[in-house]
């Protein structure tokens, strides 16, 4: 099968012919139909987050089940599925207490005494975040997929695999935004726009979108923003305070920068909660003025929207088909696997929300 392989940090992905293994008892072989190109992939390509190499990147995807292992009963060949990088074991403390997105059990990968799921001849290829979706097929643990209805377009379904689950989930699961509240979202990429959409679904009364790119702010209004702020023109903290009479109940940082993470905390009202969604680079430290905690402000993180993805993803599919999730507007372009490096480059400029690789 063809796959986009990262062999060295800060180099283009190489389109290569590699092999996948056969499903073991609890594995599923999925034929990839669509894969979003996410900023998180860029973080690993540029070395912000170290990862073993060579590896096939990609983690936001949807496809059709091709084959299943002998113990798999959840899906069968022909089923349509969305993948999720936060695979769960189902029996660790995190899973049993309802925090499945925090599961890190090693059983979700193959044991070291077994062949790797991906290879090129005698060379092992590392699987990226349990998935590696920049490839024509994915061989995954059965707990890395969610079955969905077949009338859902798979290019839009792929976005639910990361951007939507991360952004909407951070709003409804991590922060638990209340109806009638005020919300600010910093960053209007795929995750930020999904958070805006999630805040609208949650019933927030005022949703303030913040970015530096005008066309993204225009897009934010389509997703439910009631106000937009171009941070290149004004101080976003002071502007948010002026718009809301003192600050928002909830803020979300969806870029992954020290400066914007600190801004998200400073634009809160007393008792407000700031949630960091963006992947802040390794070694970065966030500075907060200590006395501000006396105002009962909260600064917290969110991993993949604190999801319960086998429950959430089918619901998000229903939201899209009901017209409540605006996935069509998230897709800037549909591309071929061979164009993946161009899509990675556009992520650095911040001009587009999502490019989606189509395999058929």
CA 2 to chain centre: 24
DSSP classification of residue 267: T
Question: Which burial class, exposed, middle or buried, applies to 103 when counting CB atoms under 10 A from its CB (0-12, 13-18, 19+)?
Answer: buried
| Nearest by Cα to 356 from 62, 101, 99, 45 | 62
**Residue of 20, 38, 86, 188 marked active site:** 38
Q: Which helix (H) or strand (E) holds 167?
A: helix 165-169
Helix (H, G, I), strand (E, B), or coil: what is residue 163? helix
How far from the centroid of its chain's Cα atoms is residue 317's Cα? 16
Note the Cα 299 to chain centre separation in Å: 20
**Joined tokens for residue 35:** 């894969």
Concerning whether 84 is annotated as a catalytic residue, the answer is: no
Name the catalytic one among 20, 39, 59, 80: 59
Q: Would residue 59 show up in a list of annotated catalytic residues for this protein?
A: yes
3-state SS assignment for residue 308: coil
Helices 190-202 & 214-223 angle (0-180, nearest 10): 30
Q: How far is CA 22 from CA 30, 39, 120, 143, 277, in A?
A: 11, 30, 14, 17, 36
Choosing from 162, 173, 249, 355, the catalytic residue is 162
* C-alpha 243, offset from chain centre: 29
Point out the catalytic residue in the list 39, 43, 173, 326: 43
For residue 243, give both structure tokens.
Answer: 């718009």
Spatial contact of 158 and 356, defined as CB atoms under 8 Å apart: yes
For residue 285, indicate whether it is catalytic: no
Q: How far apart are CA 107 and CA 314, in angstroms?
A: 25
DSSP helix/strand/coil, 164: helix
- Residue 328 DSSP code: G
- Rg over alpha carbons for the chain, rounded to the nearest Å, is 20
Q: Which residues pair with 120 in a beta bridge?
A: 123
Residue 191: both structure tokens together: 């995750």
Max Cα–Cα distance, the chain, nearest Å: 64
Check if 141 is active-site.
no
Query: Which contiguous run of DSSP H or E holds residue 261?
Result: helix 258-266
Any idea which residues carry the catalytic annotation?
38, 40, 43, 59, 162
């Amino acid at each position: 099968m063809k796959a986009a392989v990262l062999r060295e940090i800060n180099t283009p992905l190489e389109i290569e012919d590699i092999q996948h293994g056969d499903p073991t008892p609890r594995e599923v072989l999925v034929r990839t139909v669509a894969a979003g190109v996410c900023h998180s992939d860029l973080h690993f390509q540029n070395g912000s987050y170290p990862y073993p190499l060579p590896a096939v990147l990609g983690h936001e995807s949807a496809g059709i089940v091709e084959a299943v292992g002998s113990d798999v009963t959840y899906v069968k060949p022909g089923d349509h599925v969305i993948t999720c990088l936060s695979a769960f074991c189902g029996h660790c403390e995190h899973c049993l207490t309802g925090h499945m997105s925090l599961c890190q059990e090693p059983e979700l990968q193959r044991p070291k005494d077994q062949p790797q799921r991906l290879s090129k001849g005698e060379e092992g290829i590392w699987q990226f975040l349990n998935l590696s979706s920049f490839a024509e097929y994915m061989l995954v643990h059965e707990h890395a997929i969610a079955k969905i209805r077949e009338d859902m377009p798979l290019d839009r379904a792929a976005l639910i695999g990361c951007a939507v689950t991360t952004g909407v989930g951070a709003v409804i699961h991590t922060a638990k935004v209340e109806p009638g509240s005020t919300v600010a979202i910093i960053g209007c990429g795929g995750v930020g726009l999904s958070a805006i959409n999630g805040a609208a679904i949650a019933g927030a009364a005022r949703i303030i979108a913040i970015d530096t790119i005008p066309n993204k702010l225009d897009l934010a209004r389509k997703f439910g923003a009631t106000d937009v702020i171009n941070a290149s023109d004004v101080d976003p903290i002071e502007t948010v305070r002026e718009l809301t009479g003192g600050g928002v109940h909830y803020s979300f940082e969806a870029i992954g920068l020290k400066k914007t993470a600190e801004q998200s905390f400073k634009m809160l009202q007393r008792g407000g909660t700031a949630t960091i969604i963006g992947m802040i680079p390794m070694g970065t430290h966030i500075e907060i003025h200590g006395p501000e905690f006396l105002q009962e402000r909260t600064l917290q993180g969110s991993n993949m929207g604190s999801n319960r993805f086998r429950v959430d993803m089918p619901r998000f599919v229903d939201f899209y088909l009901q017209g409540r999730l605006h996935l069509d507007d998230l897709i800037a372009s549909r591309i071929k696997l061979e164009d993946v490096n161009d899509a990675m480059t556009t992520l650095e400029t911040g001009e587009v929300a999502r490019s989606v690789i189509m395999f058929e």
